[in-house]
Amino acid sequence: MDERTEQMTANRAPVIEPGHTFATVTDKISSIVLTRPTSNGWLIGFGLCFLITMVLLYAIGYLFVRGVGIWGIDIPVGWGFAIVNFVWWIGIGHAGTLISAILLLLRQSWRNSINRFAEAMTLFAVACAGMFPVLHLGRPWLAYWLFPYPNTMNYWPQFRSPLVWDVFAVSTYATTSALFWFVGLIPDLATLRDRSENPWARMIYGILAMGWRGSARHWSRYETAYLLLAGLATPLVLSVHTVVSFDFAIGIVPGWHTTIFPPYFVAGAIYSGFAMVLMLAIPIRKFYGLEDFITARHLENSAKVMLATGLIVAYGYGIEAFMGWYSGNRYDSYLLWNRLHGPYSFFYYMLLSCNIFIPQLLWIRKLRTSPLGLFVISGVILVGMWLERFIIVVVSLQRDFLTSSFGMYYPTRWDWATYIGTIGFFIACMFLFLRVLPAISIFEMRTLLPEAEVRPE
């Protein structure tokens, strides 16, 4: 027993490779932004994603000209890709906050090297998610009616509607993530201010750093504020996907109206979020040679988190199926039948294999530490989680109560263009972020060095 734990700790990869000093850490990370010339790889990658973003813009333009009818939605399936994508993106966002906030509270110092870009990922994911609720409106130009602003009609949002909850939850979430991220950036911005030769960069970083000089008093308040933010972000991140799940759970549609949704949506969110983190981290550490900072340890821990949340999700599916049978409710049991044998059953089996069966490979330690393997599995999980939302939204609506109103849903090319467009937009944002901001929190990395400890004399 003891041996085994010792052994495990022994051959556990470190959080940061040995031989680094404050200076090397600082230079290594800031150089990505400051000194390195823009690589061709970056230009090509960004250019490609930018083109895809233009596709998104075109799809949106046409949408505004013609109306949501260009999508595949109909009666009974009033929600299609738009809502599926919304939930998917929001879910992905969750990992960032989880890493930066919850792991901070849990004193998981290994998070320090991945929280920065994880948070950035959160921001961009939320940006993508935030588009859809507006785009999917029949009259998107009136989206502001969902906010409680004083108006001559003295008419207000309807606070019993989960969609209004969504508005508050998502906007709070977006604000918090942005601030959290920015606060974390301040000291590093000061570093960049002091490191950069280019006067323009100096000025811009200087303005953003707001004159940070690392005073002990500041650090002390800063640390408290940061800790409190983490404390606030933690319940928030849990609440956001809970609220998103309410969009369905509050409805009476069979397959929506179930109490298991909040926990299993949150788990699913973290599940897909970590998958996305890995899909980003693995190439980044490779191309920017950051293996020293994002080590096998990080990959493995993330993999473990995925494994755990994946099992929770699996439990969710299990309960859904069980309840469908056990409740004896003719609508729920038919929903189960429809998932297993209905017109979309193929996707349900896809979902099961992507989210439950294949990820079980993560029990293998070798795989947990192999970047390529993790990259592939993460992709599979992302597909699976998208399918989960598709099953929940479309297959539930498609055949609800009146057999006379059973229908089908066929996405159009505009559905796809919008979805793929947001992915392009997301990655384009990541490219920009990597180019102009430190992808890893420098000052938090410093604290990981042994010299950072204060030795009493």
Partner 1 sequence: MPEQNGQQHREDICPGKKNKLDLQTVRARVAETKGPEFWRSLEELAGSEEYREMMHREFPKGASEWVDAVSRRGFMKLMGASLAMAGMTACTKQPLEPIVPYVRQPEEVVPGRPLFYATAFTLGGYASPVLVESHLYRPTKIEGNDQHPASLGGTDVFAQASILGMYDPDRSQTISYLDEVRTWGNFLDAIRGPLNSQKAVQGAGLRILTRTISSPTLADQLRSLLKLYPQAKWHVYEPVNRDNVLQGSQMAFGQPVETQYKLENADVILSLDADFLYAGFPGFTRYARDFAKRRDPDAESMSRLYVVESTPSSTGANADHRLPLRAAEIGEFASALGAALGISSSSRTFAAEPARYLQALVRDLQAHRGSSVVIAGDHQPPVVHALAHAMNQALGNVGKTVFYADPVDANPLNQTESLKELIADMRSGKVDMLVVMGGNPAYDAPADFGFADALKNTSIPLRVHLGLYRDETAELCHWHINEAHYLEAWGDARAYDGTVSIVQPLIAPLFNGRSAYELTAVLAGQPEAAGHEIVQGYWKKQHPAADFEMFWRKSLHDGWVASTTFAPKSVAVKATDLPAPTQAAQNAVEINFRRDPSIYDGSFANNGWLQELPKPMSKMTWDNPVLIGPVMAERLQLQSKDMIELELNGKKVTAPVWIQAGHPDNSITVHLGYGRRRAGRAGTGTGFDFYALRYSATPWFTTGVNITKTGGTYPLACTQGYQTMDTQDGNSRPLVRRASLEEYHREPNFAREEEPPAGLTLYPGYDYKKEPNAWGMAIDMNSCVGCNNCIVACQSENNIPIVGKEQVVKGRHMHWLRVDAYYEGDRANPQAYFQPVPCMQCENAPCELVCPVGATTHSTEGLNDMVYNRCVGTRYCSNNCPYKVRRFNFLLFQDWETPELKMMRNPDVTVRSRGVMEKCTYCVQRISQHRIDSERENRAIKDGELQTACQQSCPANAIIFGNINDPNSRVSKLKANPRNYGLLADLNTRPRTTYLAEIRNPNPALEG
Partner 2 sequence: MKRTPIYGLLAEFDSPSDLVAAAHKTYAAGYKKIDAYSPFPIEELAEAIGFHHNYVPLVVLIGGILGCAGGYLMQWWIATVSYPVNIGGRPFHSWPAFIVVTFEMTILCAVLAAVFGMLALNGLPMPYHPVFNVPRFAFATKDRFFLIVFSSDPMYNSMATRDFLQSLGPRSISEVPS
Is 232 an interacting residue with respect to partner 2 (CB under 8 A)?
Answer: yes
> Residue 20 is encoded by which pair of tokens?
């680094």
Interacting residues with partner 2 between 153 and 172 (CB under 8 A): 154-160, 164-165, 168-169, 171-172
Is 198 an interacting residue with respect to partner 2 (CB under 8 A)?
Answer: no
337 binds, among partner 2, partner 1, none (CB under 5 to 8 A by kind): partner 1
Q: How far is the CB of 164 from partner 2 (least distance, A)?
A: 7
Q: How far is the CB of 262 from partner 2 (least distance, A)?
A: 11
How far, in Å, are 207, 230, 252, 265 from residue 256 at the CA level?
48, 31, 7, 12
Q: Which is nearer to partner 1, 210 or 252 (CB)?
A: 252
Q: Which residues contact 26 (CB under 8 A, 6 or more apart)?
A: 191, 195, 442, 446
Q: How far is the CB of 104 from partner 2 (least distance, A)?
A: 13
**The only residue of 11, 40, 152, 404 in contact with partner 1, by rule CB under 8 A:** 404
183 binds, among partner 1, partner 2, none (CB under 5 to 8 A by kind): partner 2
The mark string for 12-31 relative to partner 2 (x by CB under 8 A, - otherwise) is ---------xxx--x-----
Question: Looking at this protein, which amino acid is placed at residue 452?
Answer: A
Is 219 an interacting residue with respect to partner 2 (CB under 8 A)?
Answer: yes
Q: Which is nearer to partner 1, 76 or 130 (CB)?
A: 76
Q: Using CA atoms, how far apart are residues 300 and 307, in angstroms rounded to an integer? A: 10
Cis peptide before 76 (omega within 30 of 0): yes
Q: Using CA atoms, how far apart are residues 63 and 84, in angstroms rounded to an integer? A: 18
Question: Looking at this protein, which amino acid is placed at residue 359?
Answer: P
Q: How far is the CB of 402 from partner 1 (least distance, A)?
A: 6
DSSP letter (8 states) at residue 358: G
Q: Using CA atoms, how far apart are residues 227 and 239, in angstroms rounded to an integer? A: 19
Q: Which residues contact 295 (CB under 8 A, 6 or more apart)?
A: 13, 14, 15, 16, 17, 113
**Which contacts of 256-260 are long-range, i.e. CB under 8 A and separated by 24 or more positions?**
256/392, 256/396, 258/320, 258/323, 260/316, 260/319, 260/320, 260/323
Q: Which is nearer to partner 2, 22 or 401 (CB)?
A: 22
The vertex-162 CA angle with 156 and 165, nearest 5°, equals 65
Is 222 an interacting residue with respect to partner 2 (CB under 8 A)?
Answer: yes
Is 138 an interacting residue with respect to partner 1 (CB under 8 A)?
Answer: yes
Is 238 an interacting residue with respect to partner 2 (CB under 8 A)?
Answer: no
> Residue 350 is encoded by which pair of tokens?
């896809």
Interacting residues with partner 1 between 318 and 337 (CB under 8 A): 330, 333-334, 336-337
Q: Using CA atoms, how far apart are residues 412 and 393, in angstroms rounded to an integer? A: 16
**The only residue of 162, 231, 371, 373 in contact with partner 1, by rule CB under 8 A:** 162
- Number of neighbours of residue 337 by Cβ within 10 angstroms: 14
DSSP letter (8 states) at residue 72: S
Is 65 an interacting residue with respect to partner 2 (CB under 8 A)?
Answer: no
Q: How far is the CB of 234 from partner 2 (least distance, A)?
A: 10
Q: Which is nearer to partner 2, 21 or 198 (CB)?
A: 21
- How many Cα atoms are found within 13 Å in the side-chain-facing hemisphere of 232? 13
Q: Which is nearer to partner 2, 111 or 339 (CB)?
A: 111
Is 218 an interacting residue with respect to partner 2 (CB under 8 A)?
Answer: yes
Q: How far apart are the first and last CA of the chain?
A: 37
Q: Which is nearer to partner 2, 136 or 193 (CB)?
A: 193
Q: How far is the CB of 316 from partner 1 (least distance, A)?
A: 21
Is the CB of residue 184 less than 8 Å from the CB of residue 100?
yes
Q: What φ, ψ does residue 432 adopt, rounded to 5°?
A: -60, -45
Tokens 């090319």 belong to residue: 413
10 binds, among partner 2, partner 1, none (CB under 5 to 8 A by kind): none
The residue ranges that bind partner 1 (CB under 8 A) are 65-70, 72-79, 136-140, 142-143, 145-146, 155-158, 160-164, 167, 247, 250-253, 330, 333-334, 336-338, 341, 397, 400-408
The residue ranges that bind partner 2 (CB under 8 A) are 21-23, 26, 148, 154-160, 164-165, 168-169, 171-172, 175-176, 179-180, 182-183, 187, 190-191, 193-195, 206-207, 210-225, 228-229, 232-233, 235-236, 239, 243, 246, 443-444, 446-447, 451-455, 457
